[in-house]
Chain A
Amino acid sequence: MPKGAGWRIALIAAFVVLSCIYLVPTLSPNLPEWWKGMLPKDKIHLGLDLQGGTHLVLEVETAKAVEGTLDLVATDLEDTLNSKNLRFKRISRTASDKVSIVVYEKDTATAVQKLIKDKYRDYEIIPTVEEGGMVGVALRMKEQDIQDRKDKAVAQALETIRNRIDQFGVSEPVIARQGINQIVVQLPGIKDPQRAIDLIGRTARLEFKMVKEGVSPTGGAVPEDSEVLYEKHTDPTTGATTEMPLVVLKKALITGDLLTDAQVRIDSQFNQPYVGIEFNSLGARLFDQITAANVNKRFAIVLDRNVYSAPVIRERISGGSAQISGNFTEKTASDLAIVLRAGALPAPVKIIQNVTVGASLGKDSIDKGLMAGGIGVALVIVFMAIYYKLSGMVANLGMVLNILYLMGAMSALGATLTLPGIAAIVLLVGMSVDSNVIIFERIREELHLGKSPKSALEAGYDKAFLTIMDSHVTALITAAVLFQFGTGPVKGFAVSLSLGIMINLFTSLMGTKVIFDLFLHKGNVKKMSI
């Protein structure tokens, strides 16, 4: 055996064994129990482009979360001032970070200011201004608190979306925050992407509001405390939608955060699905009071500013349960139940990127990618065997090792294989024999000069070393840049490419050399098959 060949062979063999072990979880879906205990479990994941699925980037409209908080402050102040008999003209949010109160007298203003100081310590109080006999008091949210609120809104939105997806039932979803106000959602293998998108993107803010009777919704002016919302009706047979306007009080009596549960039920009379909801104790008490005080009046169940139904209160409802009906299908009812259970988003989200690949296209891509890869490998193997004969077969062996190592490494890292990633592997097949071509051509040159096979081999590897190094480093530079800037499929490409380049350096400089050494080490080989 040539000097130093022993440990090189051992190293190559060790990598082969390691790669095989790491590949087991990828290749066999059901691992025996004893394997899971001590051996690697990570596997190569298929990218969404190969297994089908949806990749979403959502932007949380964080400014709305801040406004929402301030709207709550305004409502709360209104109640407090009323209960303390402090007379005011108007309380409202007047800017994205400011709530203003207009009162009639200076004394009231001082009292209000004192109240704010006690109750809202974290807010900044803006000095009073007098205008036209009125006095204005205002409080502003501090910049630091605004940032906190925004940050929390994104975290809450992420949690809520995770809840919804869990309840919807998607295997191995990825839900992660990206940058300041974005959330990335990946739903592999999802069958009905549109439904999932609707489910995730919905704010799901549930409100119970009283209907303002005696005001025509179409007749122009609506009182300041009211607004016009619409009730949508979809005819189940024609699919045509009609909108019915309704005037409701702006102030919500009960909101969705007082719910403890929501379930789909079937109406036994009309065989129509509806959503049954349960309130917590506070909600139940409020609901009891409101229904008792408003018998024979109508209230509207509003979700995200759409009226679902506006039933008349027939009698006082105690016990804390209610139902939301409004021509549901079983699917829409169950989706509504999911979003109500998972809770509302703290702020609306906007879908800014949606890449959905159907399962059939994904299947098609992976089949074709693998076939093209197989043919590519075969073409290269045949070419090398014909052109370089036995040496070509050594190069082919190196290439096969390359692919094995690459798959093993990707498996160990739990990397994601995308269609461009398959392309990268096929490309690497070509590139991995390149290094050997450079070496072989050099050896041929040295043989032409009359050197013996052994010294030609040494000279060939020696002189080709730097060339191979240089070419690999330049390729690696661009692969690294692609990795840094790429997303999704492109990143998968960069991962396969960079790993492959590094592995290729090892196999071409070490893997194939040792085989030649084994054959030629005695120095009496007269002819080389190259």
Chain B
Amino acid sequence: MMEFLGKTNIDFIGKRNISFVISAIISIIGMIAIIQMSRGVANMGIDFTGGTSVQLKFDKPLAMSDARKALHAAGIEAELQEVKEGNKLLVKLPRKSALAVGKAAELVPAAFVKAQPGLQVTVDSTTEIGPSIGEKLRKDTIVAVAISMLGIICYIAWRFDFKFGVGAVVATLHDVLAMFAAYYITGREFNLLFITAVLTIAGYSLTDTVVVFDRIRENLHKDLKGSLHKIFNNSINEVLSRSIITSLTTFLAAISLFVWGGEVIHDFSFALLVGIVVGVYSSVYVASPVVLLLEQRAMNKGESGAVQPVKA
């Protein structure tokens, strides 16, 4: 029998002060990212802001400064973003840009050809989003995230109890914030695909949390007298290897997307990778300690002093 981890006996719950600090830092960065997004300072995809983006492919390398000059000469105000592979360039035009919708795919390549005669320009893709669409998408996204969170709380609260529901949601929010933080720090573009990744991970990371919760519940029923601290710790240790392995298989699949999946889903798979890793961490270090905290508080209220205090 091959095992990465034999029987472990790590005091996960005992380290909760450290883990809470780490999680708090991650969450705060995530929140900063969201605030910056709402202020419009973060790298936002045009799905949300409205505007135009044109991805071009050239037959030979083109320096960014030359590209900027070419657009400037044509009177096109744009933001340029390098694409990792090939001689590709992403040109983003703000919503206020004077170009009419439907014209960018013509005018932008023309500007380059004019500045550099003989340059072969192919339009890889064009995305133009009118302001009303961006507005609607933003609203829909917020509603989508809210509904799925609500659905998850309700389900977990029904299957376990309310305290577990809270623990699951705190952990899920933590994972989501961590993904925002990772995207923000690496300067990636927040777009619709990112939101898709976030919602996917919100559903997926719960899988892990549910595995841990299931075991905690099972052990709580078996051992009615033991200290909560010990039951929680044992439960996590018991399921640790499966948490890691389930995530590992998904991680393997996601990393192949990240490495070989091509430019379009590169960032998307990055978000998935971050989410998968953080998902394991949060089910051990966030979800369970939060439930423990709530359980202890409930017990202390119910029969103060009857349960031996748990060392923090």
Residues of A within 8 A of B (CB): 49, 57, 59, 193-194, 197-198, 201, 350-358, 360-361, 364-365, 367-369, 371-373, 375-377, 379-380, 383-384, 386-389, 419-420, 423-424, 426-427, 429-431, 433-434, 437-438, 441, 444-445, 463, 466-467, 470-471, 473-479, 481-482, 484-486, 489-490, 493, 497, 530
Is B19 part of the contact surface with A, judged by Cβ < 8 Å?
no
User: In the assembled complex, how far is the CB of residue A305 from the closest CB belonging to chain B, in whole angstroms?
Assistant: 15
Q: Which of B143, B203, B251 contacts A478 (CB 8 A)?
A: B203
A475-B207 CB under 8 A given contacts A357-B125, A430-B249: yes
Is the Cβ of A475 less than 8 Å from the Cβ of B203? yes
Partner of A467, one of B148, B151, B214: B214
**Chain B residues whose CB sits within 8 angstroms of the CB of A466 once the complex forms:** 214
Q: B265 touching A369 by the CB < 8 A rule? A: yes
Cβ-defined contact, B202 with A478, below 8 A: yes
Q: Which residue of A lies closest to B252 (CB)?
A: A379
Min CB distance B264 to A, Å, is: 5
Most-contacted residue by chain A among B2, B207, B245, B249 (CB, 10 A): B249
A368 and B260 in contact, given A193-B126, A437-B246 (Cβ under 8 angstroms): yes
Tell me how far the C-beta of B80 lies from the nearest C-beta in chain A, rounded to whole angstroms.
Answer: 18
A residues near B2, Cβ cutoff 8 Å: 386-389
Contact A197–B102 (Cβ < 8 Å): yes
Q: Does B48 contact A (CB under 8 A)?
A: no
Quick one: given A369-B262, A474-B155, are A434 and B126 in contact (CB under 8 Å)? no
Q: Is the CB of A467 within 8 A of B253?
A: no
B207: nearest chain-A partner, CB-CB? A471
- Identify which of A193, A353, A369, A384 contacts B261 (C-beta below 8 A): A369
Q: Is the CB of A490 within 8 A of B193?
A: yes
**Residue numbers in B under 8 Å from A463 (CB-CB):** 218
Q: Are B126 and A351 in contact (CB under 8 A)?
A: no
Which of B26-34, B36-44, B128-136, B219-227 interfaces with chain A? B128-136
CB atoms of B102 and A434 under 8 A apart? no
Residues from 237 to 276 in B contacting A, C-beta threshold 8 Å:
238-239, 241-242, 245-246, 248-257, 259-262, 264-265, 268-269, 272
Among A358, A386, A429, point to the contact of B253 (Cβ < 8 A). A429
Most chain-B Cβ atoms within 10 A of its Cβ — which of A383, A389, A471, A474?
A: A474
A56's nearest neighbour on chain B, judged by CB, is B102
State which of A350, A355, A420, A427 has its C-beta within 8 Å of the C-beta of B127. A355
- Report if B1 contacts A (CB, 8 A): yes
Nearest neighbor of B196 in chain A, beta-carbon distance:
A490
Interchain CB contact under 8 A, A376 and B203: no
| Cross-chain pair count, CB within 8 angstroms | 221
Cβ-defined contact, A360 with B124, below 8 A:
yes
Report whether A352 and B101 are in contact in the complex, using a CB–CB cutoff of 8 Å.
yes
Q: Is the CB of B252 within 8 A of A467?
A: no
Task: Label chain B's interface by main secondary structure.
Answer: helix
Q: How far is the CB of B132 from chain A (nearest CB, A)?
A: 6
Task: Indicate whether B106 reaches chain A with its CB closer than 8 angstroms.
Answer: yes
Q: Is B126 touching A356 in the complex (CB atoms < 8 A)?
A: yes
Could you list 15 examples of A-B contacts with CB < 8 Å? A193-B105, A197-B102, A354-B101, A367-B262, A369-B265, A384-B249, A426-B253, A434-B207, A437-B246, A474-B155, A474-B207, A478-B148, A478-B202, A482-B200, A485-B143
Q: Which of B105, B200, B250 contacts A356 (CB 8 A)?
A: B105
Q: A354-B127, A368-B262 are in contact. Are A489 and B193 (CB under 8 A)?
A: yes
A360 touches B122 (CB 8 A): yes
CB-CB < 8 A to A420: which residues of B? 193, 196, 265, 268
Q: Inside 8 A of B207's CB, which chain A residues have their CB? A: 431, 434, 471, 474-475
**B152 with A477: CB separation less than 8 A:** yes
Q: Does B206 count as interface, using CB distance less than 8 angstroms?
A: yes
| B125 & A358 in contact (Cβ 8 Å cutoff) | yes
Choose one: A353, A365, A484, A497; the contact of B264 (CB below 8 Å): A365
Contact across chains for A497 and B200 when beta carbons are under 8 A apart: yes
* A424 proximity list for chain B (CB < 8 A): 200
Are A372 and B196 in contact, with the CB atoms below 8 A?
no
CB-defined contacts of A426 to chain B, threshold 8 Å: 253-254, 256-257
Task: Chain B residues near A437: list those with CB within 8 A.
Answer: 242, 245-246, 249
A372–B259 alpha-carbon span in the complex (Å): 8
Most A C-beta atoms less than 10 A away, residue of B55, B126, B147, B156: B126
Evaluate whether A380 and B252 lie within 8 angstroms (CB atoms) in the complex, with A441-B242, A475-B204, A481-B199 already known: yes
Bound form: Cα–Cα A368–B84 in Å = 15
CB distance from B135 to the nearest CB of A (A): 11
A57 CA to B128 CA in the complex, in Å?
A: 10
A426 to B252, CA, bound (A): 10
Instruction: Determine the chain B residues whose CB is within 8 A of the CB of A388 once the complex forms.
Output: 2
CB within 8 Å for A438 and B242 given contacts A351-B130, A427-B272, A430-B251: yes
Report if A372-B260 is in contact (Cβ < 8 Å); known contacts: A351-B101, A380-B252, A426-B253.
yes
Residue B166 is within 8 A (CB to CB) of chain A in the complex: no
> Is the pair B102, A201 in contact by a Cβ cutoff of 8 Å?
yes
Q: Give a binary string over B171-211; 1 marks a CB under 8 Å from any A CB, 0 the rest.
A: 00000000000000000000011001001101110110011
How many angstroms from the CA of A368 to the CA of B269 in the assembled complex?
A: 13
Complex Cα–Cα for A384 and B246 (A) = 11
A427 touches B124 (CB 8 A): no
Residue from the list B124, B151, B200, B248 in contact with A358, Cβ < 8 A: B124
